Amino acid sequence: MDLSGKVAIITGVSKGIGRATAELLLAKGMVVAGWGRTAPNEFKHPRFHFIRCDIRKEADVQKAYDATVKAAGPEIHVLVNNAGLGNFGPVDGFSSEQWHQMFDTNVHGLFYCTRAVLPAMKKQQLGHIINVASLAGTAGTANLAGYCATKYAVRGFSDALFKEVRPQGVRVTCLMPGSVETNFNGNEPGQQPDPHKMQPEDVAATIVHALEAPQTVLLSEIQMRPTQVK
């Protein structure tokens, strides 16, 4: 798909993968609506619209979608479901609140956002949904049971959705990165890039690669890993 002039929604836009993706899509000539609870610091662009939204709340998502249409027009061409969080620890050490917080963001919020954009994409017979999952959606890891469960759910949802909307010309890609140097889980990126981790810009470039694939090509699943391992 030629991205110039097209409209993208990115969730979790304040930092990390979301922000890097917004910057790259703007550089490609897109109009970007960034949804998040906090705005990205010192980030302004004439084609960037920050829309405050807590995707865990269904009503918030509908308001954000309406605001996006008002700001950018009725055609939505790309949705990057990037917002996500992880609470780590043993299963019997989890609070129910922590468990629900992960599912409300990683799974339920992703569903609300996807459902919001699908009618326009189907009508256009053109659209691309990128669901940012994780390699945690391919193999279980001790002390990551809740997070893995959400990412397995995202992978299953993506696999079913791409088969469902394929006839309408809508593409769905499930992107599964491994270790990325971000603020995920409260960690701060180091001053020097970690050679054993990918950078947010690497993931953003892969998202663009999937979006720019010929319309006859669907990259349904992409797994990403650092080349060097510890």
147 is catalytic: yes
Q: What is the pLDDT of residue 118?
A: 98
Q: One digit per residue, pLDDT tens: the chain, 230 residues?
A: 899 999 999 999 999 999 999 999 999 999 999 999 999 999 999 999 999 999 999 999 999 999 999 999 999 999 999 999 999 999 999 899 999 999 999 999 999 999 999 999 999 999 999 999 999 999 999 999 999 999 999 999 999 999 999 999 999 999 999 989 765 544 454 455 577 789 999 999 999 999 999 999 999 999 999 988 77
Distance in angstroms (rounded) separating the CA atoms of residues 30 and 66: 19
Q: Residue 64 CB: number of other CB atoms within 10 A?
A: 25
Distance in angstroms (rounded) separating the CA atoms of residues 132 and 153: 12
Q: What is the pLDDT of residue 52?
A: 97
Domain ranges of the chain: 7-224
Q: What is the pLDDT of residue 1?
A: 87
HSE-CB at 218 with a 13 A cutoff on CA atoms is 20
Owner of token pair 């006839």: 167
Q: What is the pLDDT of residue 192?
A: 54
Q: What is the pLDDT of residue 183?
A: 57
3 state DSSP class of 71: helix
Q: What is the side-by-side order of every strand in the sheet holding 31-36?
A: 48-52, 31-36, 7-11, 78-81, 127-132, 170-177, 221-224
Two tokens, residue 104:
């409300």
Q: Which CATH architecture has domain 7-224?
A: 3-Layer(aba) Sandwich (3.40)
Write the CB contacts of 95 (distance below 8 Å, at least 6 apart in sequence): none
